[in-house]
Amino acid sequence: MSLNEFTRLRNHCYEADNGFLIWQITPKDSSRTFDLDGDNGIIVAHVLVLDGWLEVQYRENTHILEKNDFGHFIHGTNIRVAAISDNINAYFIVTTDSYNTALFKNRSPLSFSIVTRALQQPVTTLSSKHLLSLSFRMQCIKDVAANQKHIFRNEIISVH
């Protein structure tokens, strides 16, 4: 499923013009398992679970993300959420190949150690302090993405 189609079929899900998607997953979405394709390109997915759990399949591996977990799934072309708990509260961000290329255009790429660690162990349990900070930032990003009338919406989310 493409990002555009994915966004149209979900509540609290927003896509920017530059290959960026954010979705706040709520208990109403607990029956909505999905596959998301990168349209023949690499996608990066970030998942922050505030409550409940998700089962994520990425690059032929299955990961269970529970409360306070952060998943950083890089360098794949498809992500599948195979199961979602009834009490889920999570954020799901996806960036496409075009967004990631623009992001690193004038910056150094991620270090080899970061990439290796993310590929080997993509799920990390966060401390309460880090969870609070990251959840606040995710909410801010979602609020900007949700405001379709904001004149600088795409520029704020963009990587320029």
| pLDDT grade for 127, boundaries at 50, 70 and 90 | very high
pLDDT of 30? 61
pLDDT of 115? 78
* Domain architecture of the chain: domains with CATH: 3-98+107-157 (2.60.120.280)
| pLDDT grade for 155, boundaries at 50, 70 and 90 | low
- Residues 51-74 pLDDT 10s: 999 999 988 889 999 999 999 988
Confidence check: pLDDT of 154 > 70: no
Average pLDDT in the chain: 82
- Residues 86-107 pLDDT 10s: 999 999 988 887 777 777 777 7
Chain mean position to CA 114: 18
Average pLDDT estimate for 131-135: 93
Q: Name 73's Cβ contacts closer than 8 Å, sequence gap at least 6.
A: 44, 45, 46, 47, 56, 58, 59, 79, 118, 122
Q: Give the integer Cα–Cα distance in Å for 33 and 11.
A: 14
Average pLDDT estimate for 125-132: 94
pLDDT of 40? 60
Sort strands 123-125 and 34-37 into parallel, antiparallel or unpaired: unpaired
Rounded alpha-carbon distances, angstroms, from residue 80 to 14, 60, 92, 124, 137: 18, 10, 12, 19, 24
